[in-house]
Amino acid sequence: MISPVKIWRRQEEIRKILGYEGKVISWTKIFVSGLDFKKFVPYFVVLVELKNKTKVVGQLVDFNGNKLKIGEKVVAVLRKVKDVKEEDIIPYSVKFKLLKE
């Protein structure tokens, strides 16, 4: 179980990134993952440079294509990290979604 204290402490860090736009500066496609992410395989992990020049790593969500390009515009969104048991706290984190133009 994830500690509620860790989740509470992390919310300030999440708020600084959430909703910010940026561009993909590097990416990789994951084919083999740990148990918590098996249902997402294959998935993309991106290195994003936000408009304020902060660099952040995160999973790319809602992307079914195979041709991700460097320079693609993305936005930071809040998504559930993993499925949990009924009595656990649901962990959320920042992930990235392509911006539609």
Q: Which domains does the chain have, with CATH numbers?
A: 4-98 (2.40.50)
Q: Where are the alpha helices (DSSP H) in the chain?
A: 4-17
Give the residue among 28, 96, 12 at the shortest CA–CA distance from 56. Answer: 96
Instruction: State the sign of the Cα–Cα–Cα–Cα dihedral 44, 4, 22, 48.
Output: negative
Of 55 and 19, more confident: 55
pLDDT above 70 (res 8) = no
Instruction: Identify the band that residue 7 occupies on the pLDDT scale cut at 50, 70 and 90.
Output: low
Tell me the CA distances in angstroms from 93 to 13, 16, 66, 69, 86, one per residue in order.
10, 12, 24, 24, 19
Q: Give the pLDDT confidence score for residue 52 in this predicted structure.
A: 87
Q: Give the pLDDT confidence score for residue 17 in this predicted structure.
A: 82
pLDDT above 60 (res 1) = no
Q: Give the pLDDT confidence score for residue 19 in this predicted structure.
A: 84
Q: Give the pLDDT confidence score for residue 72 in this predicted structure.
A: 94
Q: What is the pLDDT of residues 12-48, one digit of tens each?
A: 777 778 888 999 999 999 999 888 778 778 889 999 9
